[in-house]
Structure 1
Amino acid sequence: MAAPHALSAAAPAGPSARSSARSSTRHTGWIADLAFAVLTVVLFVAVALATGVHNPWDGQIPLALFLGALLLVRRRWPMTVLLLSVAAVFAYHLAHFSPAGWIWPVAAAYFTAAGTSRVRWVVVVGVAELVYSAVDARMIIDRNLVRYLIHTFGEGLLLAALVAAGLAYAASQRRGDLLREAEYRARAAEERLSVAREVHDIVAHTLAVVGVHLNVAADTLREEPAEAAAALRLAQDVRNRAMKDLDSLITVLREGPAGTEPQPDVSSLGALVAGARAAGLDVTLHEHGDLSTIPAPASVAVHRVVQEALANTLRHSGATMAEVAVGRHARSVTVEITDNGKGDSSGGGVAEGNGITGMRERVRALGGTLTAGPAARGFAVRAEIPVAGSPE
């Protein structure tokens, strides 16, 4: 057994990753703020020049620069930016006769504030500005009624569109946050399940093997002290390996996979079988095909299935013999563990514990299938995991 290096692959993003994401979001937000500011300044000045203003420095350019500067802090103080922008437009129209609009110069401020919880106040401010603009432009009615209607209803439609766009954007942001939170929780749940499987595999196998050696030591302590000492040493070796595995697992959970050993895979099956033999189980290992070509996830799963099956055999079945067969085929890997322990030739059901459930979940995560139950002469566990094709 070795430390679970691949465990962190499914882990939720750590604090550094989330901090990087927030930094990227802030950077993008500043770009948007600057873009809104520049666009507001350019459009306002362009409209002023297009409507015949001869000296834009008299009021148009200072107002445009003020509105643009406010937009640089629109996300931090959206309502304050909106109120100051509207007040500046009011002051401008009181001091200058200008065909410049009332709503569109502060469009970005309306859009931003509409996405906050104070959207009702945004509507109130916008309607008040529209009413005042309609009254202020009443002298146009006699000269050009169509222009007055376009001015009044056009800005009303613009205000409605800005509020609707702000609400839609805020809803989209909230939906994205909920999806990210759900994804984070799903990854966290998957990681907890993965940790539970790893801990179960390590502890269950260790307790099974150590238990057998302790029983041997207890039975032979008086008559064969040398044999009892050997059994205790083997139990201690298994315990030390398990502690090393658990320590590496905790390291992965705390600090990530750097510096830990790779996951145990099919290359470790020999040591796994040797440990079961040392515990008194006559295990035969059959390997078919080139097992070195098995992809890492499937190779780890095969090791864990064999480990759990042998641990169950040692703990529960009373078996004296077991066979392990692992085959590498063109598009799949198969593994079968059978023993001569307590079986049911009638094919009766078997109560699944955490071990069998964990094996099935591990194999299913890779798109494979696993069956476990009584066989003709004992108990059998069979798994098939699909892998990329290669020559047999």
Structure 2
Amino acid sequence: MLDLALAVITVIGVVTGIMAAELRQSPWSGTFQFALFLGVVLLLRRRWPMVVLLLSIAATFVFHFTSLFQGGWIWPASAAYFSAACTPWVRWVAAIGVAQLGYEAVYLREILAENVPRFLTHVLGEGLLLAALVAAGLVYAAAARWRERLRESEGRTRAAEERLRLSREVHDIVAHTLAVVGVQLNVAADALDEEDPAEAADALRVAKDVRNRAMADLRSLIGVLRDDPGGPAPQPDLATLGDLIENARAAGLRVTLDERGDPSNVPAAPAVAVYRIVQEALTNTLKHANATAAEVRVGYGPRSVTVEVEDDGRGCARIAEGHGLTGMRGRVGALNGTLSVESTPGGFTVRAEIPVAGSLT
């Protein structure tokens, strides 16, 4: 569309320029044909900008020599000069323009003897126009390169952010799996000591199931990292919260899940954050809290989701900010939410509130 607009403007500009100059020349005697040719070749300027410039200059010479056109030498090909000046061949464009100006000065030598101001107006005017066209081409090309570098930088930033997000996913999966599997292995070992092979087999079966699910998730995530860092990764959703709770129960933790509201209106990003917060909180409970029970409460409101995970394990005066808590804070902070972690002698509590209105899906 831009090329067509430039072609039309060139045709109209050349014809009206001749008429405005009040030259004793009918636009239909050659000016229109010349302008039409300049406009048509401009449709090829993106693919062959230098060819278009050379054809435009050749046409200018031909129509001047045949007396079918009596206007300027540079301005009829302004669009062609600008297009060529946007390319790496800009030095050749400037050299061609200077050569054309030199020829124009020789061509107008008769005017120099009769009217010096008119001669200077023609030559210097078109020289300034040529300089402006080359400068505009250089600026446009520099802006295009800057935009391209900006797009590449943004692409690298998005890829780095995606890799960081995937690394957090890997951490969450591995930490949760090791916690559950570790508990089940302890149960199996105790059952074998008590000569209860059935209970040991059940514990090992649960550990195997959790391990298989984790391996499937890890294969998907690693495949994304290997093949397409910017591609979508498989994400958990609120519908799988039940499986998460069952895994914790299978590890020997009495867990209750209290969901209130409609989860169907929660966008994907907050939904993943809710799942990972519950997962990390239960993993910490299994690994560090020595707890026997935990309660998970999730409230789905019209503008936010609230998550609260509370256990009855041993608290501590100082909370260590490991990868898990850092990941939770990063997830919640990225969604403009709030996260609080409280540790008391009576247990450990994680609370989060995540906005959902206007969240990206």
* Same fold, TM-score > 0.5, yes or no: yes
Distance 1:47 1:268, change over 3 A: closer
- CA–CA separation in structure 2 for the residues paired with 1:337 and 1:372: 10
- 1:243-392 map, 5 Å: 243-246=215-218, 263-265=236-238, 267-287=239-259, 289-290=260-261, 292=263, 295-296=266-267, 297-328=269-300, 331-344=303-316, 347-353=317-323, 355-372=324-341, 374-388=343-357
Instruction: State yes or no: 1:130 paired with 2:101.
Output: yes
Contact 1:48 1:56 in 2 (8 A): no
- CA–CA separation in structure 1 for the residues paired with 2:234 and 2:213: 13
**3-state SS of the aligned residue for 2:72?**
coil
Instruction: State yes or no: 1:53 paired with 2:25.
Output: yes
State the match for 1:23 in structure 2.
none
Structure 1 unmatched runs, 5+ = 1-30
Distance 1:361 1:244, change over 3 A: same
With normalisation by structure 1, the TM-score equals: 0.76
Deviation of the 1:107 alpha carbon: 0.8
Structure 1 range deviating more: 101-110 or 64-73: 64-73
Contact 2:31 2:69 in 1 (8 A): no
C-alpha offsets along residues 222-262 of structure 1, whole Å, 9 cap, x if unaligned? Answer: 511111111112222223333444456578787977xx987
Aligned pair count reads 351
Structure 2 unmatched runs, 5+ = none
- CA–CA separation in structure 1 for the residues paired with 2:15 and 2:355: 66
Higher relative contact order (CA 8 A, sep 6+): 1
Structure 1 range deviating more: 111-120 or 371-380: 371-380
State the match for 1:32 in structure 2.
2
Amino acid in structure 1 at the alignment position of 2:286? L
Distance 1:56 1:293, change over 3 A: closer
**3-state SS of the aligned residue for 2:44?**
coil
Structure 1 range deviating more: 241-250 or 314-323: 241-250
Distance 1:342 1:33, change over 3 A: same
C-alpha offsets along residues 43-80 of structure 1, whole Å, 9 cap, x if unaligned? Answer: 445555763335956x6556445434443332333334
Sequence identity, in percent?
Answer: 58
With normalisation by structure 2, the TM-score equals: 0.82
- CA–CA separation in structure 2 for the residues paired with 1:268 and 1:131: 78
Aligned-residue Cα RMSD (Å) equals 3.3
Contact 2:314 2:345 in 1 (8 A): no
Contact 1:350 1:374 in 2 (8 A): no
Contact 2:82 2:133 in 1 (8 A): yes
Distance 1:372 1:144, change over 3 A: same
1:224 to 171, 180, 196: 196
Deviation of the 1:110 alpha carbon: 1.0
Deviation of the 1:200 alpha carbon: 2.4
- CA–CA separation in structure 1 for the residues paired with 2:140 and 2:24: 36
Contact 1:37 1:71 in 2 (8 A): yes
State the match for 1:12 in structure 2.
none
